[in-house]
Chain A
Amino acid sequence: MKPLLTVEHLSKHYEGRRSLIERMTGVPHTVVRAVNDVSLTVAKGEILGLIGESGCGKSTLGRAILRLNEPNKGRVVFDGTDVTALAPLALKTMRRRMQIIFQDPYASLNPRRTVAEIVGLPLKLHHLASGEEARAVTARIVERVGLKANQLDRYPHQFSGGQRQRIGIARALVSNPEFIVCDEPVSALDVSIQAQIIALLLELKREMGLTYLFISHDISVIGYLADRVAVMYLGEIVEMGPVDDVLANPRHPYTQSLLSAVPEIEPRGRKARVRLKGDLPSPLQPPSGCKFHTRCPLAIDICRTLAPVSEDVGPGHQAACHRLAEGVSLMSESGT
C-alpha cells in the first residue's frame, strides 16, 4: 500500500547562540540535534504511535513534519507532494489537509477569542466558509466533539481541561483534514477524562477516515490505540514496528527497559525490571557511537564508537542495535 506520509532522513538542529567574543574567536556553535536523520512512513488510515521520554525529540519531529518548525534536512512527502519544497502559499493550502492537536489545552487556545472564533478560524483562512455558513459548520463540529452549540460564544477559561481539549480537536478537524499530528493530546488530563478523549479520537478517525501520528510518552495509551509504533531516543528512532510485535518482543535494549519500567496494574502483567543507569544525556553533548550506550547494560566496545544501523528483525519491524545478531536481550538476562 502506498503510504500517505513519507518522512525521509529528516533532521532538525538547533544552534546555540554565541557571544560576540565567541564569534570573533571562532568558537563553533553548540548544536542540539533534536531530530537526527529520521525516516518513517504512515499508511492511510493508520495510527503510528511515537513514544519516547521528554527531550527525545518526538514533538519536534511532529512539528517538523508539518513545517511548524522548519526542518534542516530531509524530505516530507504527503500524498505525493513534497511538503518540504512547498512555497509558503502552497504550504498553507496543504495545511488544510495536515493538522495538529496540541498537548496543553490551556496554552494552545487564545484566551481572548471565543470558541466560535477559535474553531472557525481555519474555515476563514482556507476560504472554506464564511458568515452564517461558517457558524453552522463550526456548530456542527463543536457538537460532534461533545460540546454544546450554545457554548460557541464562551471563552476558553469557562471550560475544564477536557472540554478545552475538545475545542482543540474541533479546531483541528473543522477544515476536514486527512492527517493529524496528535502531540500528547491526553497527557495533561485526568484518567477518566483521558479515556473520554481517546474514545472520541478513535470515533472521529473511523468516521472521517483520518490518519494519526500519535505522540505520547504513555506506552499503555500507544499500546491501546496505535497500529505501529516508533520508539525515539535522543533524536533518533531506535525501533519501529507493529505495536503488538514491539510490545511483546522488543528488540532494542532501550525499548526493553522502557517497557519494563511501566507500572502494571495487574500482577500477572508484571515484568522483571530492567534498571537503567542514570539520566538522559545532555543533547548538547550526545554520546558517540550508539547514543544509548551510556545507559545500556549491554553496551560493548563497538557501541561507543560506531552508530548502529537500523535492520529488519521481523516483518515490518526494525531496530538499531549492534547486539541484535547475538540475540542478547535484557529481558532474558533478568529472567522473565
Chain B
Amino acid sequence: MSALLEVRGLRTVFHTRAGEVWAVDGVDVEVRRGECLGIVGESGSGKSVTFASVMGLVRSPGRVAEGQIVFEGRDLRALSAREMRAVRGKEIAMTMQDALTALNPALTVGEQIREALEAHDETLPARGQARRAAIRAKSVEMLGLVGIPSAESRLRQYPHEFSGGMRQRIMIAIALACRPKLLIADEPTTALDVTIQAQVLELITDIRARLGMSVVLITHDLGVVAEHCDRVMVMYAGQVVESGPTEDVIASPRHPYTRGLLASIPRPGLRGQPIKPIEGQVPDLIGMPPQCRFYSRCPLRRDACLAPVAMRPAGEGRSARCVLLDEVPA
C-alpha cells in the first residue's frame, strides 16, 4: 500500500536572537491512505511545526531547511507558492487548536465556508445564480455533516455566536468543504470539555470513514490517541522517538520517554501507588549537542547516548530512537 504522505529527513529551523532552534530535526512521517495517525508530544516537541512545514506554513524567522515532503508522488517543497496554494485546503486541510482565533470574527460562518469553496472547488458553476445556489447547498451540506442543526440560519451567524465545540465543528466543516484527502487536526479538542471532546472526536472518526480520507491527529493526550488512532508517533524535543501501531506502543513502549510518559499519567487504578514522573524538564533546543535529546532526563542513560542516535527497527511495524534497542533484542 503506498503512502499518501511521506516525509523524509525533515528539518525546520527557527533563527532567533539567542541562536538557531532546530524545532524539527530529522523527522520521518508516513501517512497511509484511510488511516488515522496520532502525533503525541508535549509542548515544544515539534509536533505542530512538523505539520506546519508540510503545509508550507512556516514563516520567517522559521525555514524548512532540509527534507522531502512527498504527497501522492509530488514533492511539495518543489512546488511554487501558487501550486502549493492549490494543494492547501483542497488536498490537505488543517484545523487549528484555537477555533476562536483561527476563524475570522468579522465574517459570517457562511462567508468563510464560501471562501474555501470558491478558492478550490472547480465543480461549481462558473457564475451567476447557479453558482450562488451551489455554494449555498454545499455550505448547508457541510454544516449538516459536522452536526450543526438548522444550518440555513446558522450560516448567517458570526463565530462568536457559537460555543467552543460548535466553533471547532465549523472549522472542521471549512477544512472538509473541498473534500481533502488528508485532514491534519492540530489539538482539535484541547480547549474543549470532555463531553464535547468526545462529540468532536467521534465526528472526526465518523467523517473519516464516510469520506475515506486520512487523518493526522496532533494531541498531547495519549488516551485520545489510544481510542482514535491506528498508529502513533511520539515526539520529543523536535524528533520522533517512537512510532508504531498504537496498541503495541502503549502495551510495550520501547523508548524510555514513551515509558515515562505512560507512567506519568495519573489513573484511578494507581491510587495509593506513587506515580513516577519523568524528572527534570525538556532541554533548551538552542545549542543542543548532537546526542540523544532525552539524555538529561533518562533513567537508563549511558555513554553511547552521547553520540547521535538514529531510529532503529523495534518490532513489527515499529521503530524507536534508543541505543538500548541494540542491547536487548526487540
Contact = CB atoms under 8 A, between A and B. Distances in A.
A265 B247 contact: no
Nearest to B42: A190
Interface in B132-185: 163, 165-166
Contacts of B276: 195
Contact of B266 (A224, A264, A273): A224
B193 A192 contact: no
Contacts of B195: 53, 257-258, 261, 276
Contact of A264 (B166, B226, B279): B226
Contacts of A262: 194, 223
B224 interface: yes
Given A224-B267, A224-B268, A263-B223, A276 B199 contact: yes
A220 interface: yes
B266 A266 contact: no
A270 interface: yes
Contact of B43 (A190, A220, A225): A190
Contacts of A198: 266, 275, 277
B264 interface: yes
A261 to B, nearest CB: 4
Contacts of B199: 275-276
Interface string A280-313: 1000000000000000000000000000000000
B270 interface: yes
Contacts of B298: none
Contacts of A279: 163, 165-166, 196
B277 A258 contact: no
A266 B198 contact: no
A258 B194 CA distance: 7
Given A224-B270, A263-B223, A276-B195, A195 B165 contact: no
B245 interface: no
Nearest to B165: A279
| A interface, over-half SS | helix
Contacts of A219: 194, 268
| B interface, over-half SS | helix
A220 B268 contact: yes
A162 B226 contact: no
Contacts of B262: 265
B305 interface: no
A219 B281 CA distance: 25
Residue of B194, B197, B222 with most partner-chain A CB within 10 A = B194
Contacts of B198: 260-261, 263, 273, 275-276
B265 interface: yes
Residue of A163, A195, A258 with most partner-chain B CB within 10 A = A195
Interface string B241-256: 0000001001000000
B221 interface: yes
B223 A264 contact: yes
B202 A195 contact: no
Contact of A191 (B228, B261, B268, B271): B261
B227 interface: yes
Interface string B269-294: 11100111111010000000000000
Given A263-B223, A263-B224, A266-B226, A199 B275 contact: yes
Nearest to B45: A190
Interface in A228-285: 243-244, 247, 257-258, 260-267, 269-270, 273, 275-276, 279-280
A219 B194 CA distance: 9
Contacts of A196: 277-279
Contacts of B312: none
A243 B261 CA distance: 25
A260 B275 CA distance: 24
Contact of B247 (A193, A220, A267): A267
A137 interface: no
Given A261-B194, A273-B202, A191 B227 contact: no
B220 interface: yes
A220 B266 CA distance: 6
A194 interface: yes
Interface string A151-165: 000000000101100
A224 B165 CA distance: 28
A266 B250 contact: yes
A160 B282 CA distance: 10
Contacts of A265: 222-223, 226, 250, 262, 265, 267
B67 interface: no
A331 to B, nearest CB: 15
Contacts of B277: 192-193, 195-196, 198-199
B228 to A, nearest CB: 8
A54 B194 CA distance: 10
B260 interface: yes
Contacts of A223: 266-268, 271
B275 A224 contact: yes
Nearest to B219: A263
Given A264-B227, A265-B226, A191 B165 contact: no
Given A224-B266, A224-B275, 18 more contacts: A53-B193, A53-B196, A193-B42, A195-B264, A195-B275, A198-B266, A219-B268, A224-B271, A225-B271, A261-B198, A263-B197, A265-B222, A267-B226, A273-B202, A275-B199, A275-B202, A276-B195, A280-B163
6 contacts: A160-B281, A217-B193, A262-B223, A263-B226, A265-B222, A269-B269
Pairs A-B, 5 closest by C-beta atoms: A223-B268, A263-B223, A224-B266, A195-B277, A195-B264
Interface of A: 53-54, 160, 162-163, 190-196, 198-199, 202, 217, 219-221, 223-225, 243-244, 247, 257-258, 260-267, 269-270, 273, 275-276, 279-280
